[in-house]
């Protein structure tokens, strides 16, 4: 069984809300990135979204864009990201790791090759921001034989007819984007989250993780009251830059478990 499935099954059995944490691989360099990842996992992150640095992101706000630029400046490549995953896997064979990013680096590396190499490194799935469902088969056809999950993104603007079609072929969990726009911490969260979660649960049995904007324990708890998991990205990246990722992850975990 894929680690993503195992983790969400365990969380459900325990009656707990999952914490999905995003960090950019190679930020500020591979050694620093590895320390941040281990700190996040050791202090409560259930699923790691590992960002693949890319020069031209379209969905990321300033915080994650800057993290990606720092990683690229330090020499991060697809190969070095996979080597980073192997090092994490040398001491952690349980935490799900999702490769999060854009289609261009994966396409350039080769879809068949990246699926094989990612699975061998210990990746559990992909979340590709700019690869629409209609064009995803070229990648997913190589993912399935390797046991990799393709995690879909659903937005507030996604109609239920389209959401149903997309989710028929999804695996692992659903990433629900609570707000329109780019990533980044926000002071206010979506007011329609409860209704959106109910609508999605009516068309899929997959766990639903909600994100985009969560930046505190209080916001994580409010989001987690409606979703199966909470995604924290920009705020977690900021905490790593401030050398307080352990403390911030603990704050999120404590709030979700309260």
Task: Give residue 24's Cα distance to chain centre.
Answer: 10
* Catalytic residue selected from 5, 14, 42, 49: 49
* Catalytic residue selected from 5, 14, 27, 60: 60
Q: What is the DSSP string of 93-106?
A: SSS-EEEEE-HHHH
Contact residues for 116 (Cβ-Cβ < 8 A; gap 6+): 142, 146
Token reading at 101: 């990013």
- 138 catalytic per annotation: no
- 49 catalytic per annotation: yes
Would you put residue 232 in left (φ > 0), alpha (ψ -120 to 50) or beta?
beta
Task: Judge contact between 100 and 117, C-beta under 8 A.
Answer: no
Which residue has 């629900």 as its token pair?
Answer: 176
Token reading at 6: 């195992």
Q: What is the C-alpha to C-alpha distance for residues 73 and 60, in angstroms, rounded to an integer?
A: 18
Would you put residue 134 in left (φ > 0), alpha (ψ -120 to 50) or beta?
alpha
Q: What is the C-alpha to C-alpha distance for residues 86 and 79, in angstroms, rounded to an integer?
A: 11
Residue 44, CB-side half-sphere exposure with 13 Å CA sphere: 24
Residue 211, CB-side half-sphere exposure with 13 Å CA sphere: 26
Task: Judge contact between 105 and 54, C-beta under 8 A.
Answer: yes
β-partners of residue 101 are 128
Catalytic machinery residues: 49, 60
């Amino acid at each position: 069984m894929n680690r993503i499935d195992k983790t969400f099954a365990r969380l459900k059995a325990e009656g707990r809300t999952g914490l999905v944490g995003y960090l950019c691989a190679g930020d500020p360099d591979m050694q620093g990135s590895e320390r941040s990842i281990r700190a996040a996992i050791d202090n409560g992150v259930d699923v790691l979204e590992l960002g693949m640095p890319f020069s031209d992101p379209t969905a990321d706000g300033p915080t994650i864009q800057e993290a990606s630029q720092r990683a690229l400046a330090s020499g991060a490549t697809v190969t070095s990201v996979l080597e980073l995953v192997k090092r994490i896997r040398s001491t952690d064979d349980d935490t799900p790791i999702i490769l999060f990013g854009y289609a261009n680096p994966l396409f350039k590396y080769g879809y068949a090759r990246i699926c094989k190499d990612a699975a061998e490194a210990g990746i559990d799935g992909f979340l590709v921001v700019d690869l629409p469902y209609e064009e995803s088969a070229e990648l997913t056809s190589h993912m399935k034989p390797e046991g990799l999950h393709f995690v879909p993104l659903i937005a507030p603007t996604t109609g239920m007819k389209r959401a149903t079609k997309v989710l028929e072929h999804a695996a692992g969990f659903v990433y629900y984007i609570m707000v329109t726009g780019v990533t980044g911490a926000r002071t206010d969260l979506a007011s329609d989250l409860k209704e959106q979660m109910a609508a999605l649960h009516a068309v899929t049995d997959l766990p639903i993780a909600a994100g985009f904007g969560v930046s505190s324990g209080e916001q994580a708890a409010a989001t987690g009251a409606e979703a199966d998991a909470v995604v924290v990205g920009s705020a977690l990246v900021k905490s790593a830059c401030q050398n307080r990722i352990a403390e911030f992850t603990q704050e999120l975990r404590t709030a979700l478990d309260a």
